Amino acid sequence: MVAYIVLYVDDILLIGNDFKMLGQIRAWLSTQVSMKDMGEASYIFGIKIYRDRSRRMLGLTQSSYIEKVLKRFKMENSKRGFLPMMHEIKLSKKQSPRLMRSLRGGRTSPMLQSWEVFNKLSSVPCSISRTL
C-alpha cells in the first residue's frame, strides 16, 4: 500500500493505491482540520490530470496553461509541433536512473539528506492509517 499527502497552501491532494486506506486518512484529516471533499482531482497547479481506468493509464498535461500563454501573446493560431520524443514510447523501471537508488544510504550532501527525509515522509500516511 502506498499513499501520499500533497499539501499546497490550503489544498490537500491524497494519492494512493488503496481506496480504503485513503478513506481512513481522509476521515482522520477531517477530524484534525476543516476540509471539504472535492472528489477526484482533475487539475492540480494548473496541470490537468487524466485517467483511462480501463487501460490503467494516468497522465498529466499542461495544455490549458500552454493555450493561456499562447492567447496572452496572441499566438493561439500558431503552428503546433511535437516534443522531440518518439510517440507511443514504452517506458519501464529498467530505464529509470540508478543514481538516486545507489546514493540513498549516503549522507554526503544536503540533497541526499533531503532525499532520505522524503523517503521517510512518504511512509507517514501508512503509519497514520494504523492509528485510526
Per residue in 37-83, pLDDT (tens digit) is 888 888 887 788 888 889 888 888 888 888 888 899 998 888 777 66
pLDDT at 118: 47
pLDDT band per the 50, 70, 90 thresholds, residue 20:
very high
Listed in sequence order, the residues at least 6 apart from 88 whose beta carbon sits closer than 8 Å to its beta carbon are: none
- The pTM of this model reads 0.47
**Residue of 13, 72, 70, 3 whose CA lies nearest to 38:** 13
Based on C-alpha coordinates, what's the Rg of the chain?
19
Q: What is the pLDDT of residue 56?
A: 80
Residue 126 has pLDDT above 60, yes or no: no
**Rounded Cα–Cα distance for residues 86 and 105 (Å):** 35
- What is the rounded distance in angstroms from the CA atom of residue 56 to the CA atom of residue 51? 8
